[in-house]
């Protein structure tokens, strides 16, 4: 019998982390335990651990063992060229405007600057977002980031949610681990496979989590036809669509959203951190009228209300036109970088990508096996349990600054032209 | 049969709101439904609704009915003299210092000002709080207010928590409604009735929620003897003490806390909003080592992390000595106002209070029936289901500014000297 090498072992542990077998923050088995499992000596496991530590996936706590790091903490040498993070390069954000607005708020009326917000959110911000995104103000709530939106869904729909929730395949890894996802519907080029979807709806499904405008990780959009068909199904089978409307700011299309097509069956979530800067921890959600009180109670019992000062600041940021200006800047940078990246990929024969992708990343297919070494991108299997996903990877290209991005492109060219066996 | 008057009906609805029969945000029955229940005409119910609206307890939503307002929204004429809120008068807070620190943080390194915090909290703030409160940094997490601490407990200990949680009687109303409290242990002058506590522990109790340093609403403290006895019980019966350590800043005593006496069985929670300004939405918790990972996962899935900028600001606020100065100011104001208030109460024959109370409020006993009209204080039955609680009320005295407080004292004198039948 051939003993497993340290890279193989690291690969297996990496997969278990990606698929949520070992969750963020969880303690992983000890070197001794892995040595028994893989029938190798402890030194080999030790080398695998070192590799995973280098990649930033795990960390040691003295006297306690090794732990899976939280996604936001994962920074290692392979992440110098970070094609992983789908947050923006912070240097794109106009911090000076935020600072100015903070000062305006404090100068205006000091005691109001840190006043608490109502549970549903600052009325000014709700109004501004309602106008900016054409959403009903009276069904909107401000949340402490899109993650809280998913958490509130879990609270409102109860604990058997992993049985009740249908996911796209592939989908956002955070939702997989949070909801312990079990049910998936495969995506075609224009949206989910409707026949498959209908079959799934026969069972206990009450919620369908989707990113129909700019899908993560594929960057694709649902066709209007499929959206309409799914809206009809939502009414017929009485389930709710959780519409995660990320990156719609960078689409020129005026395709109606689910919240427009079937508002009574749509729970709409939008991250404000993802289009500005991850640290602001704000998002919005719009829920059907008959669920509004339940969601508001869930929000209130979670954290009373989101941070008021940042809400009032964001309200001014939108009303003074800074959000639009910022998004214009991001959009032009995004188009430049997407073009540059596509050119690099075009020159590599075994790589292809689908046209019409949007958002901060590119979803690429490889006809050759992909390296399992520390890679600077997100591997396909992080987004899906199906074997086909392994020939895909996602290159997110908006997190690095210009200099790093250019150097990253050179690195990619080299790294990808010599596919690892 | 005598028909119920509008004040009686308002009183019953008020009680149902206070005891959580109608929760914040919930729709209450219609005027028609109440008219049937109380066998009165609709006009009478209408007048009761108007009274409750004036008090800020309920609100109309056009075309939809009447709803219970959230505690933070409750502002009405009877709250002009607000002896209810146990948050500080905002004008006591040094906003200029916060503004200066914000500017320092933005000037220092712009992109860092809005950088995300790790899930467990900003390391600087954790260090500062660890030193300030003598708490272990490696078991500490920063939370988005004390309410989130309770929510995380509910997440970690699962859904049958209302069966597993034992409360003090009386206790904090927010905890009653959040956890749908069912089990209570009566408080004596020096802590809970130990015999009663032991009886309760025979059953399914796994958690005991307590405010042992400055109890809310009574303002009393546990004796060290009782703390030690309960610590022994926690080890013997293997349950966790949730130590809500509010207002300990204003006690001169150096009595050990549960977190000092039995750290492996104590989940320690402290609000930072309550000693500064309610809008900052920050708190801290310290959890036993073996629960740390579970709590961190619960925190991460709730909202990824608390707002980083406010955490870094609070860190500077503590390290530059402003928190201590602020607490000194509050403490001296608190002593003045407590003395003034006690003098007013002393002159009213049917009112008494226990010595040795601390915190922002005074827990007062009345030998005459208390008014059920709109009252400017918190009524005893908001904190307890037992009939005895009805002869108590809580006067919180730190929320109004000096001018309002003085006028409030005059109003109290008048209002209380003529007890309503």
Q: What is the DSSP letter of A148?
A: H
So what's the pLDDT on residue A3? 47
d(CA A266, CA A136): 12
With a CB-CB cutoff of 8 Å, which residues 321-380 of chain B face chain A? none
B147–A114: do the CB atoms touch at under 8 Å?
no
Residue pLDDT, tens place only, A183-238? 999 999 999 999 999 998 877 889 999 999 999 999 999 999 999 999 999 999 99
Tell the residue number behind the tokens 């990496």, with chain if given: A14
So what's the pLDDT on residue B75? 44
Percent residues over pLDDT 90 in chain B: 57
Residue pLDDT, tens place only, B92-110? 999 999 999 999 999 987 7
Nearest residue on chain A to B114, judged by CA atoms?
A279
So what's the pLDDT on residue B177? 74
- pLDDT, mean of residues A101-113: 86
Q: Touching check for B306 and chain A: CB below 8 Å?
A: yes
d(CA A161, CA A181): 9
Report which of A124, A131, A90, A154 is spatially closest to residue A326, judged by C-alpha positions: A90
B302–A147: do the CB atoms touch at under 8 Å?
yes
C-beta separation of A373 from A420 below 8 A = yes
Element of type H or E holding A394: strand A392-396
Bridge partners (DSSP) listed for residue A392: A365
Report which of A85, A357, A190, A8 is spatially closest to residue A365, judged by C-alpha positions: A357
pLDDT at B19 over 80: no
pLDDT at A46 over 90: no
C-beta separation of B312 from A157 below 8 A = no
Q: Touching check for B111 and chain A: CB below 8 Å?
A: yes
Burial of A128 (0-12, 13-18, 19+ CB in 10 A): buried
Tell the residue number behind the tokens 């130590």, with chain if given: B243
Residue pLDDT, tens place only, A166-183? 999 999 887 777 778 889
For chain A, how far is it from start to end, CA to CA, in angstroms? 22
Q: Please, which pLDDT band fits residue A71 given cuts at 50, 70 and 90?
A: low
| B chain contacts of residue A114, beta-carbon cutoff 8 Å | 90, 93, 95, 98, 277, 279-280
Q: Please, which pLDDT band fits residue A373 given cuts at 50, 70 and 90?
A: low
Interface-testing mutation among A283, A302, A305, A310, with chain B (most B C-beta atoms within 10 A): A302
| Phi, psi angles (nearest 5°) of residue A327 | -65, -35
Number of inter-chain CB pairs under 8 A, A vs B: 173
pLDDT at A73 over 80: no
The two structure tokens encoding residue A34: 């892995």
Chain A closest CA to B306's CA: distance in Å? 8
Interface-testing mutation among A28, A156, A177, A281, with chain B (most B C-beta atoms within 10 A): A281
User: In 10 A of CB A271, how many CB atoms?
Assistant: 23
d(CA B72, CA B84): 11
Of B72, B98, B110, the CB nearest to A304: B72
C-beta separation of B259 from B266 below 8 A = yes
Chain B closest CA to A107's CA: distance in Å? 9
B277–A114: do the CB atoms touch at under 8 Å?
yes
| A chain contacts of residue B280, beta-carbon cutoff 8 Å | 114, 307
Chain A closest CA to B84's CA: distance in Å? 16
Query: Among A201-210, A359-368, B346-355, which is the least confidently predicted range?
Result: A201-210
Residue pLDDT, tens place only, B268-294? 999 999 999 989 999 999 999 999 999
d(CA A259, CA A243): 8
Residue pLDDT, tens place only, B163-200? 899 999 999 887 777 778 889 999 999 999 999 999 98
So what's the pLDDT on residue A48? 87
Burial of B320 (0-12, 13-18, 19+ CB in 10 A): middle
Instruction: Annotate chain B with three-state secondary structure.
Output: CCCCCHHHHHHHHHHHHHCCCCCCCCECCCHHHHHHHCCCCHHHHHHHHHHHHHCCCEEEECCCEEEECCHHHCCCHHHCCCECCCCCCHHHCCHHHHHHHHHHHHHHCHHHHCCCCCCCCCHHHHHHHHHHHCCCHHHEEEECCHHHHHHHHHHHHCCCHHHHEEEEECCCHHHHHHHCCCEEEEEECCEECHHHHHHHHCCCCCEEEECCCCCCCCCCCCCHHHHHHHHHHHHHHCCEEEEECCCHHHCCCCCCCHHHHCHHHEEEEEECCCCCCHHHCCEEEECCHHHHHHHHHHHHHHHCCCCHHHHHHHHHHHHCCHHHHHHHHHHHHHHHHHHHHHHHHHCCCCEEECCCCCCCEEEEEECCCCCCCCCCEEEHHHCCCCHHHHHEEEEECCCCCHHHHHHHHHHHHHHHHCCCC
Interface-testing mutation among B269, B295, B303, B308, with chain A (most A C-beta atoms within 10 A): B303
Residue pLDDT, tens place only, B387-408? 899 899 999 999 999 988 998 8
- pLDDT, mean of residues B42-59: 82
Q: Touching check for A77 and chain B: CB below 8 Å?
A: no
So what's the pLDDT on residue A76? 42
Chain A closest CA to B338's CA: distance in Å? 24
| B chain contacts of residue A90, beta-carbon cutoff 8 Å | 111, 114-115
Q: Please, which pLDDT band fits residue B3 given cuts at 50, 70 and 90?
A: very low
Chain B closest CA to A118's CA: distance in Å? 7
Q: Touching check for B391 and chain A: CB below 8 Å?
A: no
Bridge partners (DSSP) listed for residue A271: A283
Most confident of A6-15, A155-164, A252-261, B62-71: A252-261
A147–B114: do the CB atoms touch at under 8 Å?
no
d(CA B40, CA B43): 8
With a CB-CB cutoff of 8 Å, which residues 253-282 of chain A face chain B? 277-281
Helices (H), A24-171: 31-37, 42-54, 95-108, 110-113, 123-133, 146-157, 161-164
Mean per-residue pLDDT of chain B:
88
A90–B111: do the CB atoms touch at under 8 Å?
yes
A279–B103: do the CB atoms touch at under 8 Å?
no
pLDDT at A419 over 60: no
With a CB-CB cutoff of 8 Å, which residues 133-172 of chain A face chain B? 144-145, 147-148, 151, 159
pLDDT at B77 over 80: no
Whether omega before B170 lies within 30 degrees of 0, making that bond cis, reads: yes
Report which of A176, A194, A188, A193 is spatially closest to residue A218, judged by C-alpha positions: A188
Percent residues over pLDDT 70 in chain A: 94
Nearest residue on chain A to B148, judged by CA atoms?
A303
Q: Please, which pLDDT band fits residue B376 given cuts at 50, 70 and 90?
A: confident
- pLDDT, mean of residues A82-89: 88
Q: Please, which pLDDT band fits residue A19 given cuts at 50, 70 and 90?
A: low
Q: What angle do CA A374, A377, A382 make, to 5 degrees?
A: 90
So what's the pLDDT on residue A122? 94
C-beta separation of A189 from A220 below 8 A = yes
- pLDDT, mean of residues A384-409: 91
Chain A closest CA to B364's CA: distance in Å? 28
Residues in CB range of B154: below 8 A, 6 or more apart: B161, B178, B179
Q: Touching check for B320 and chain A: CB below 8 Å?
A: no
So what's the pLDDT on residue B21? 74
User: In 10 A of CB A299, how many CB atoms?
Assistant: 28
Distances (CA, A) of A153 to A146, A286, A417, B308, B373: 11, 12, 44, 25, 39
- pLDDT, mean of residues A69-78: 53
Chain B closest CA to A77's CA: distance in Å? 19
pLDDT at B2 over 50: no
ipTM over cut 0.95: no
Q: Please, which pLDDT band fits residue B238 given cuts at 50, 70 and 90?
A: very high
Chain B closest CA to A174's CA: distance in Å? 9
B95–A113: do the CB atoms touch at under 8 Å?
yes
- pLDDT, mean of residues A375-388: 88
Distances (CA, A) of A62 to A10, A72, B297: 21, 21, 20
So what's the pLDDT on residue B221? 95
Report which of B412, B414, B368, B374 is spatially closest to residue B392, judged by C-alpha positions: B368
Please give the domain boundaries of chain A with CATH numbers for all domains: 6-70 (1.10.10.10), 77-92+324-417 (3.90.1150.10), 95-322 (3.40.640.10)
Q: Please, which pLDDT band fits residue B418 given cuts at 50, 70 and 90?
A: low
d(CA B129, CA B95): 20
Mean per-residue pLDDT of chain A:
88
Report field, pTM of the whole predicted structure over 0.95 = no
Ramachandran category for residue B93: left, alpha or beta (phi over 0 → left; psi -120 to 50 → alpha): beta
So what's the pLDDT on residue B144? 97
Q: What is the DSSP letter of A27?
A: B
Crossing angle of helices B308-319 and B123-133, rounded to 10°: 40
Pairing of strands A240-244, A207-210: parallel
Of A23, A90, A296, the CB nearest to B297: A23
pLDDT at B421 over 70: no
Nearest residue on chain A to B179, judged by CA atoms?
A301
So what's the pLDDT on residue A1? 35
Q: Touching check for B123 and chain A: CB below 8 Å?
A: no
So what's the pLDDT on residue B26? 81
Residues in CB range of B117: below 8 A, 6 or more apart: A279, B142, B305, B306, B307, B308, B311
Residue pLDDT, tens place only, A116-146? 888 999 999 999 999 999 999 999 999 999 9
C-beta separation of A56 from A74 below 8 A = yes
């Amino acid at each position: 019998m051939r003993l497993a090498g340290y890279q193989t072992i690291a690969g297996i542990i990496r997969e278990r982390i990606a698929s949520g077998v070992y969750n963020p923050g969880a303690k992983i088995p000890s070197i001794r335990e892995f040595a028994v499992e893989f029938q190798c000596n402890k030194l080999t496991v030790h080398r695998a651990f070192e590799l995973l530590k280098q990649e930033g996936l795990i960390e040691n706590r003295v006297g306690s063992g090794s732990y899976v790091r939280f996604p936001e903490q994962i920074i290692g040498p392979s992440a110098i060229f970070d094609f992983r993070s789908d947050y923006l390069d912070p240097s794109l954000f106009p911090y000076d405007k935020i600072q100015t607005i903070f000062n305006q708020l404090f100068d205006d009326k000091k005691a109001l600057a840190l006043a608490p917000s109502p549970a549903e959110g600052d009325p000014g911000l709700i109004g501004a977002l309602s106008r900016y995104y054409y959403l009903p103000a009276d069904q909107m709530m401000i949340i402490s980031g899109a993650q809280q939106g998913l958490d509130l869904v879990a609270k409102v729909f109860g604990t058997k949610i992993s049985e009740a929730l249908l996911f796209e395949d592939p989908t956002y890894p955070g939702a997989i681990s949070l909801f312990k996802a079990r049910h998936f519907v495969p995506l075609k080029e224009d949206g989910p496979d409707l026949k498959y979807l209908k079959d799934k709806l026969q069972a206990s499904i009450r919620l369908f989590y989707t990113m129909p405008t700019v899908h993560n990780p594929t960057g694709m959009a649902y066709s209007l036809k499929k959206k309409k068909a799914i809206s009809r199904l939502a009414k017929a089978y009485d389930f709710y669509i959780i519409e995660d409307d990320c990156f719609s700011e960078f689409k020129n299309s005026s395709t109606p959203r689910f919240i427009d097509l079937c508002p009574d069956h749509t729970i709409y979530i939008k991250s404000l951190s993802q289009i500005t800067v991850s640290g602001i921890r704000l998002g919005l959600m719009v829920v059907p009228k008959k669920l509004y009180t339940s969601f508001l109670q869930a929000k209130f019992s979670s954290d009373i209300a989101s941070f008021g000062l940042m809400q009032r600041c964001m309200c001014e940021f939108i009303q003074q036109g800074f959000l639009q200006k910022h998004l214009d800047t991001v959009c032009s940078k995004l188009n430049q970088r997407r073009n540059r990246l596509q050119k690099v990929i075009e020159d590599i024969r075994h790589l292809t990508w689908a046209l019409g992708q949007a958002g901060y990343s590119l979803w690429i297919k490889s006809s050759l096996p992909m390296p399992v070494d520390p890679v600077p991108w997100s591997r396909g299997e992080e987004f899906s349990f199906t074997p086909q996903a392994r020939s895909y990877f996602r290159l997110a290209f908006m997190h690095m600054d210009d200099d790093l991005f250019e150097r990253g492109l050179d690195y990619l060219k080299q790294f990808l032209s010599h596919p690892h066996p």
